[in-house]
Structure 1
Amino acid sequence: MTADSVPAPRLARRPLRASATIELVSLAVLLVNIATGNAREIAALFGPVHGVAWLFGILATRRDPRRSTGATLRAIIPGIGGLLALRALEQADAQAAPDTGSGAR
């Protein structure tokens, strides 16, 4: 059994899941801030948080053993890219996993 045939454990994607959530929430805060008056302090705090979470999501996707070009391209989309990449990686896991429900031993 090679390292490529073993599905990535769910815990290995925990950093990607966290960065995708932070990326989405920080984008929502920035958009609400723009709609309600554009306070510079909020933008100064959440802008860098959003940027770092976005870059971390791209890097975490690139390091995943099940990555594909499509998953990496999805990660590049600001705001929802981390969640889209995570979904693509989990679909790749589902396709690569052997059918365990067949009852064969």
Structure 2
Amino acid sequence: MDSAKAKLLLRVAAAVELLSLLVLLGNLATVHVPAVASVLGPTHGCAYLFVIIAAIQAGAQGRGRAKAFVPGVGGLLAVRHLDRS
């Protein structure tokens, strides 16, 4: 896979991961609708795994790869690391 495509996929997956986490936490803090958690929980989990895979495909090494493993914001940190290097 082209590095630029992998970087774009990493950006999208990082945004989905963060957004799904924010909605899950907002749901938990307010109305706690079980249907929201049952839909967004697996979505967040899949986005988290996709971020890790996309970071590896984008060529992240060392710290950049390690940052991808941080739940919630790891994808954004990995993208930032890739942009700087």
TM-score of the two chains, using structure 2 as the length reference: 0.91
Q: Aligned match of 1:75 in 60, 68, 75?
A: 68
Given the alignment, which residue of 17, 21, 26 partners 1:27? 21
Contact 2:21/2:44 (8 A) holds in 1: yes
Taking the aligned partners of 1:64 and 1:9, their CA distance within structure 2 comes to 5
Alignment root-mean-square deviation, CA: 1.4
- Which runs of 5 or more residues in structure 1 are unaligned? 1-7, 93-105
Indicate the structure with greater helix content: 2
For structure 2, the residue ranges without an aligned partner over 5 or more in a row are: none
Question: Within 1, Cα distance between the matches of 2:58 and 2:20?
Answer: 24
2:73 is aligned with 1:86: no
Structure 1 Cα separation of the partners of residues 31 and 48 of structure 2:
24
Provide, for residues 61-102 of structure 1, a one-character-per-residue CA deviation record: whole Å limited to 9, x for no partner. 11123x11101111101110000000001111xxxxxxxxxx
**Kept after mapping to 1: 8 A contact 2:6/2:55:** no
Which structure would you say has the larger Rg?
1
CA contact (8 A) 2:13 2:48 kept: yes
In the TM superposition, structure 1's runs of 4+ consecutive aligned residues that sit over 3 Å from their partners are 8-12
Partner SS state of residue 38, structure 1: coil
